Amino acid sequence: MNTTWQVLGGFLVRDIAAFALFALEVYFIWRVVVPAAIRLAYRHSVSHHQFERFDGSEGAGSNDLQYLATTYDCRRNDLIVSVRAPDALYWGIGVYGGYLRVLEGGHHNNRSVNIDPEGYFHMRLTLAPNQEGDCLDCRESPQGLLIFRILCAREDIKLPQVRVVPQGQPLLDVALTP
Amino acid sequence: MIPEMPTELSSFLYSVLVQAAIFAVIFVIACVLYLLYVVTALWFIPYPRWREATLHSYLPLMALARWGRFRWKHPDCFYWVLPVRFDKGDVVVQGIPTEALYWNFTYYIWTELNSSISSENIKLDPDGGFTVCFGKGSPKGGNFIPVRQSARFGVLYYRLYEPAHVFPNYLPRVTVGGREISPGGTL
């Protein structure tokens, strides 16, 4: 009897340890390997801190939409994206993390941004989103993809300008109008 | 001099590693079985229904493509999808306009860009409804979306921007080669 319990106990300890190791592997793959692989994949096709146009043919896009995208990294600095607000039925700008899903607090659209008297809007990508102006919260993923989508544009869309600024630098101190 | 690990401990660690590897293999097999289940469910259910593409996980090939390239769902857009076959005849979509800022119909085989018809350019029937035809031949009707000649399987996309409700107020009826595959109606 005593031996049976010893054998069963040994199996139990071994299985619990093995399952913990397996769970750790899965967690590591999901939290580290998958986002890194996805970042690596789109880093090869999307410019860093510089918007490019995409026709949507690689992502089940729509021909009524224009897609402008860049990768971002705001681990040490804030980014300020400036562009003239497009004349369009709808537009939105958002940050997408390691799983290519939009981040919490990381999306604005034509109804939610402030547009200055010259017709521009300025969006700050930051790890400290409680600042003046419009911010995209990147705390969940300090590196990722920034996508600007314009639906049914009525004019040619210019590429937004991306500026790297020190964290927390007030908008007024940044030369805003491109 | 490196001290030797006690034999009992090393054999225990070895057995733990083997067991963890077995768990990993079981996990991979379960994932493969799940993918097979999804593929089977997708193509062999006799009457598929519109479903919301919350995570684009309805089509494993498309999901895999998006993991490797672009895979996302935008927070301001709703996608309703319906798997169809394009080799069984024209795909005809009949419905009524839904309350949204914008909506459109298109199709995908993979993640390519195809023609679409939207609320901005659709031609409505006299009764206020619409009929959209996806086909490989010459255009039929005012709302015709040409489908690639090589297309066999695909997914219809009903894309809605800023809908007035959480769900479309009416999902359209879909027929393939005259056979109804989704009856349409309210949710």
A125 and A66 within one domain: yes
Q: Residue A80: which CATH number?
A: 2.60.120.600
pLDDT digits (tens, 9 = 90+) for A69-100: 999 999 999 999 999 999 999 999 999 887 77
Question: Residue B102 and residue A22: Cβ atoms within 8 Å?
Answer: no
A107 and A72 within one domain: yes
Q: Strand order of the sheet with strand A134-137?
A: A134-137, A120-126, A77-84, A161-166
> What count of CB pairs under 8 Å joins A to B?
105
Question: Residue A61 and residue B113: Cβ atoms within 8 Å?
Answer: yes
A13 and A100 within one domain: no
Cα A81 to Cα A123, B115, B152: the distances in Å are 5, 31, 43
Residue A118 belongs to a domain: yes
Residue A172 belongs to a domain: no
The residue range of the domain holding A137 is: 52-167
A29 and A4 within one domain: yes
pLDDT in tens, chain A (178 residues): 567 767 777 778 888 888 898 899 889 988 888 888 878 877 778 889 999 998 777 677 888 899 999 999 999 999 999 999 999 999 999 998 877 777 888 999 999 999 999 999 999 999 998 888 899 999 989 998 999 999 999 999 999 999 999 998 887 666 555 5
Number of domains within chain A? 2
A111 and A90 within one domain: yes
Question: Residue B20 and residue A89: Cβ atoms within 8 Å?
Answer: no
Residue A5 belongs to a domain: yes
Q: Which two structure tokens, joined as six digits, stand for B1?
A: 């001099």
Length of chain A: 178
Contacts of B27 in chain A (CB under 8 A): 22, 26
pLDDT digits (tens, 9 = 90+) for A152-163: 999 999 999 999
pLDDT digits (tens, 9 = 90+) for B50-95: 877 654 444 455 555 444 433 456 778 888 888 888 999 999 999 9
Residue B10 pLDDT class (50, 70, 90 cuts): confident
A95 and A33 within one domain: no
Residue A178 belongs to a domain: no
Collect all residues with Cβ–Cβ distance below 8 Å to A40 and sequence separation of at least 6: none
A37 and A78 within one domain: no
- ipTM above 0.90? no
Q: What is the 3-state secondary structure (H, E, C) of B64-110?
A: HHHHHCCCCCCCCEEEEEEEEECCCCCEEEEECCCCEEEEEEEEECC
A100 and A28 within one domain: no
